[in-house]
Chain A
Amino acid sequence: AQSVTQPDARVTVSEGASLQLRCKYSYSATPYLFWYVQYPRQGLQLLLKYYSGDPVVQGVNSFEAEFSKSNSSFHLQKASVHWSDSAVYFCALSAQGSNAKLTFGKGTKLSVKS
Chain B
Amino acid sequence: GPKVLQIPSHQIIDMGQMVTLNCDPVSNHLYFYWYKQILGQQMEFLVNFYNGKVMEKSKLFKDQFSVERPDGSYFTLKIQPTALEDSAVYFCASSLPANSDYTFGSGTRLLVI
Contact = CB atoms under 8 A, between A and B. Distances in A.
A102 B44 CA distance: 8
A99 B31 contact: yes
Given A99-B31, A101-B56, A103-B45, A46 B99 contact: no
Contact of B33 (A49, A90, A101, A103): A101
Interface residues of A, number: 23
Interface in A91-114: 94, 98-107
Interface size class of B (residues with CB under 8 A): 20 to 34
A42 B106 CA distance: 4
B25 interface: no
Given A42-B106, A43-B4, A101-B33, A94 B100 contact: yes
B43 A98 contact: no
Nearest to B43: A104
Nearest to B45: A101
Contacts of A45: 104
Given A51-B100, A101-B48, 12 more contacts: A42-B106, A43-B4, A43-B91, A43-B104, A43-B106, A44-B104, A49-B101, A94-B100, A98-B95, A99-B50, A101-B58, A106-B42
A96 B42 CA distance: 21
A32 interface: yes
A43 B100 contact: no
B104 to A, nearest CB: 4
Interface string A29-65: 0001000100001111110010100000000000000
A100 B100 contact: yes
Contacts of B106: 41-43
29 contacts: A36-B104, A41-B106, A42-B106, A43-B104, A43-B106, A44-B43, A44-B91, A45-B104, A46-B101, A90-B42, A90-B43, A94-B100, A98-B95, A98-B97, A98-B100, A99-B31, A99-B48, A99-B95, A99-B99, A99-B100, A100-B100, A101-B45, A101-B58, A102-B43, A102-B45, A104-B35, A104-B42, A104-B43, A105-B42
